[in-house]
Amino acid sequence: MASLRDIKSRITSTKKTKQITKAMQMVSAAKLNRAQSKATAFLPYTEKIRDVVASIASGSESDEEGISHPMLEAREEVKKTAYLVITSDRGLCGAYNSGLLRHTLKTINERHQSPEEYGLIVVGRVGRDFFKKRGMPIYQEVVGLQDQPEYAEIKNIAATTVDMFTDGIFDEIYLHYNHFVSVISQKVTETKLLPLNEFDTEEEGSETELAPKTNLEYIYEPDPKVILEQLLPHYAESLIYGALLDAKASEFGARMTAMQSATNNATDRIEELTLVYNRARQAAITQEINEIVGGAAALD
């Protein structure tokens, strides 16, 4: 049985741990609010670009066939697939990283027979280290992003990712990240980034993800083809940035929940140790009283 000093030391160390986890919980809550606000503010911008792109690509009354672009066309043969995986730089966020990485690894193993058939573009130190340890091909990586990342921080990797598709290095690109559902729920999500051809399958009476949500007619200057060539790469880059903002909100939500759970566990542990400490202390006092009474009786 541990001594009173040992139990007291464990209670003290657990209290210090609780203070740390409580502070991390509060910091994560504040960061989550900012991340949610930023992701929500960016969403209308992405939706408007999507509407314009879909409007040009689907055509109008004067141009029934619409306008074609390599970024809108699926390749006849998919020789190589890229996966852009967004993870965190730090741990202590529950199953946020492990669930996503397991999903990505399972998807790759199911779809591909060899490393020549796929490539990885990784955001976050945890994902980078995970794939490097397994010897998987990483074409690009970015670590050390701010908690509230700016577009300029990921513009290079986003632009390079789009260029690798247009240059034919990859025939399709998927985004893997955690979508923010609520503070206690994050959904592992796969989204096809390129090619942008979802609206090609639009059915009458339905609205696809990239189909225009309004009946607005746009006037383009100089002309729709030039606008589309400039807008499509920027739209793909904005999808990456939007997914990053969403993933950051999920990360802070997961870390806040994990730290809250750790704080609650520390509270329970402190109560258990305090009870053990009080019982041991009472037993020691009782034993001392018995020894004093026994000694006094022996003197009589």
Torsion angles phi and psi, residue 277, rounded to 5: -60, -45
Percentage of the chain surpassing pLDDT 90?
55
265 inside domain:
no
Sequence-distant (6+) residues with CB within 8 A of 198 are 192, 208, 209, 210
The pair of three-digit structure tokens given for residue 102, joined into one six-digit string: 């397991």
Nearest to 141 by CA among 162, 126, 157: 157
pLDDT classification of 216: cutoffs 50, 70, 90: low
Sequence-distant (6+) residues with CB within 8 A of 126 are 87, 88, 89, 90, 91, 97, 101
Q: Give the count of domains, the chain.
A: 1
247 burial via Cβ count (<10 Å: 0-12, 13-18, 19+): buried
Distance CA 233, CA 71 (A): 8
3 inside domain:
no
Distance CA 280, CA 129 (A): 47
| Residue type (1 letter), 227 | I
Residue 192, classed as helix, strand or coil, is: strand
pLDDT of residue 252: 95
Which range is least confidently modeled, 91-105, 217-231, 274-288?
Answer: 217-231
Distance CA 251, CA 260 (A): 14
Catalytic residues: 93
22 inside domain:
no
Whether the predicted pLDDT of 134 surpasses 80: yes
pLDDT of residue 65: 55
215 inside domain:
yes
pLDDT classification of 60: cutoffs 50, 70, 90: very low
C-beta separation of 142 from 241 below 8 A:
no
288 inside domain:
no
Neighbours of 261 (CB within 10 A): 14
pLDDT tens string 1-20:
578 888 899 999 999 999 99
pLDDT tens string 142-200:
999 999 999 888 888 999 999 999 899 999 999 999 999 998 899 999 999 998 876 54
For every residue of 43-85, DSSP letters joined together read HHHHHHHHHHHHHHHH-BTTBTT----GGGS--SS---EEEEE
pLDDT classification of 212: cutoffs 50, 70, 90: very low
Query: Domain of 141?
Result: 28-257
pTM of the entire predicted model: 0.83
23 inside domain:
no
264 inside domain:
no
| HSE (side-chain half, CA atoms, 13 Å) at 252 | 21
Whether the predicted pLDDT of 206 surpasses 50: no
Whether the predicted pLDDT of 205 surpasses 70: no
pLDDT classification of 224: cutoffs 50, 70, 90: confident
CATH of the domain at 141: 3.40.1380.10
Percentage of the chain surpassing pLDDT 70?
89
